[in-house]
Amino acid sequence: MLTESEILAYAKKATRGAGFSWGMAEEAAMATLRLYNAGYDGFLELTSILENADGQKQPLDIKIKVPCGLTLGTFYLDCSKKADYVEVISHLMFQSLCGDLKIKEPRFPEDAPDIIKRFAHRTYVPDSEESRLRGAG
Q: What is the mean pLDDT of residues 93-116?
A: 73
**Three-state secondary structure of 62-127:** CCCCCCCHHHHHHHHHHHHHHHCCHHHHHHHHHHHHHCCCCCCCCCCCCCCCHHHHHHHHCCCCCC
- State residue 29's pLDDT score: 92
Angstrom distance (rounded) from CA 125 to CA 93: 33
Q: Is the pLDDT of residue 3 over 90?
A: yes
* Domain residue extents for the chain: 4-122
Choose the weakest-confidence range: 13-17, 25-29, 94-98, 106-110: 94-98
